[in-house]
Amino acid sequence: MHETIQDSATVTLLWTTLGALLTVATFSFLYRDNPIYKVAEHLVVGVGAGYFLVLLVYTTLKPKLFDALAEGHLWYIIPGVLGVLMWLRFSRKLSWISRYSIAFYIGTSGVSIPLYMYNNVNRQVSSTLDLGMGFGSLTEVWGILIVLGTLAGLVYFFFSKAHKGAFGGFAKFGILVLMIGFGASFGYTVMARISLFVQRIAELEDWGAMLIAYFFS
């Protein structure tokens, strides 16, 4: 039992050490571009590509194609063949065959237009015009600001009329709204990156604690 626990702790320590070394290798780019950083970068890209390939096989190909064919739905072989034909894009002589698959895919994408309009246009407009409950409440004020900001942003991109007078002032308000939106989005991205950085530093601290506990306890 003790040996099993010791082996488990050793395996955990080895994987944690590998993660810590890769973290340090990634941070080495702060000094300058170097081979150690490139190894870590290529490893991340390769592992990520392999992971998503396996994920694609077990979440898409297997349940939606292979399992369907095994259950007797033989007409599923048609999309399977069309998918295989897309790979002919990499052949100089047979690349023209892949155009049939691509044309079929683009043509059937028209089915998603009503769904796209509902989710990304109708519901967005409905949410924008939802001014909340209660006249004079804080929710009502924010709702009015959202509507005005949306209209001002759209007016800024209306170039058929000169941006002068009241129309120009409203367009300038649209610029302010856009800048606030872009700034908030950029700030959120920076916060997310800093959160990842803090997490990696915490992992390095845990790695040091594991080394001390493993060798000196």
CA 57, 63, 64: angle at the middle one, nearest 5?
95
Do residues 10 and 200 touch, judged by C-beta distance below 8 A?
Answer: no
Q: Please give the pLDDT value at position 3.
A: 56
Length of the chain equals 217
Residue 46's pLDDT is: 95
* CA atoms lying within 13 Å on the CB side of residue 17: 10
Q: What is the 3-state secondary structure (H, E, C) of the chain?
A: CHHHHHHHHHHHHHHHHHHHHHHHHHHHHHCCCCHHHHHHHHHHHHHHHHHHHHHHHHHHHHHHHHHHHHCCCHHHHHHHHHHHHHHHHHCCCCHHHHHHHHHHHHHHHHHHHHHHHHHHHHHHHHHHHCCCCCCCCHHHHHHHHHHHHHHHHHHHCCCCCCCCHHHHHHHHHHHHHHHHHHHHHHHHHHHHHHHHHHHHHHHHHHHHHHHHHHHHC
Averages of pLDDT over runs of 10 residues in the chain (217 residues) are 64 87 89 91 93 92 90 90 90 90 84 80 74 58 82 88 88 92 93 90 86 79
| CA-derived radius of gyration, the chain | 28
Residue 6, pLDDT score:
58
- Residue 45: per-residue pLDDT: 93
